[in-house]
Amino acid sequence: MGNSNPSCVGQTGITLRHLGLVDYETTWRAMRSFTHGRDSNTPDELWLLEHPPVFTLGQAGRLEHLKSPRDIPVVRTDRGGQVTYHGPGQLVLYVLLDLNRWRLGVRRLVEILENSVIALVSEAGIRANGKKGAPGVYVEGRKLAALGLRVRRGCCYHGLSLNVNMDLAPFGWIDPCGYPGLGVTQLRDLGVPWDMEKVGSLLVRHFLTELKKRCPRSVCSSWL
């Protein structure tokens, strides 16, 4: 994508792109194009960004979970999961990885993404957790981060969204992730004053740490 300011993350061979505030559908098309066009030699990429206000319906999404979308666009997408909201002040990390290269399954990747957020907020003294059967990261039962992935020919795209400092009101107009009454939270409301740049840097660092922990030693010695 244009204006992406790409950089290589350490010795990983992974390209990190800071995309800023970008349209959801444009980004989705770019992810699909990248994934459809890649081969076994294509470097993996991480995209850090924000989206303008948009509701997205995953493959399991049902319209009845959109209680009152108002004037916010609704996009039916190809990621897993149900309905969620994206907006400014929410950090999105898209992971475009060759899972065969890392010898990872989807479940293991979900654990890596969840543990990355859990480790990040622990630096601020906050205890967070995952939840069996309901991917994401929660603090005292309220959802802080949502996950959704798509895998094509062993390569994944989409990723996670982490609420940092945003207007949470639109979450009240849906059943977040298909769960009526599910509460949501964000770093600001948890007393964490970090800006988007710091959160992005920490999230990428913890993601790479978790990736290294969970991939086979022979793979990590080659790629990390």
Q: What is the pLDDT of residues 19-48, one digit of tens each?
A: 999 999 999 999 999 999 999 999 999 999
Active site residue 220: no
Ordered by start, the domain boundaries in the chain are 7-223
Are residues 86 and 26 in contact, defined by beta-carbon separation less than 8 angstroms? no
Q: Annotated binding residue at 181?
A: no
User: Mind listing the pLDDT tens digit for each residue in 64-120?
Assistant: 778 887 899 999 998 988 899 999 999 999 999 999 999 999 999 999 999 999 999
- pLDDT exceeds cutoff 60 at 4: yes
User: Mind listing the pLDDT tens digit for each residue in 148-198?
Assistant: 999 999 999 999 999 999 999 999 998 887 878 889 999 999 999 999 999
The pTM for the full model equals 0.92
Q: Annotated binding residue at 49?
A: no
Q: What is the pLDDT of residue 3?
A: 53
Confidence category of residue 10, pLDDT binned at 50, 70, 90: low
CATH architecture of 7-223: 2-Layer Sandwich (3.30)
Q: Annotated binding residue at 79?
A: yes
Q: How many CB atoms lie within 10 A of CB 69?
A: 16
Q: Annotated binding residue at 157?
A: no
The residue from 8, 177, 215, 220 that is catalytic is 177
Question: ∠189-207-201 over CA atoms, to 5°?
Answer: 60
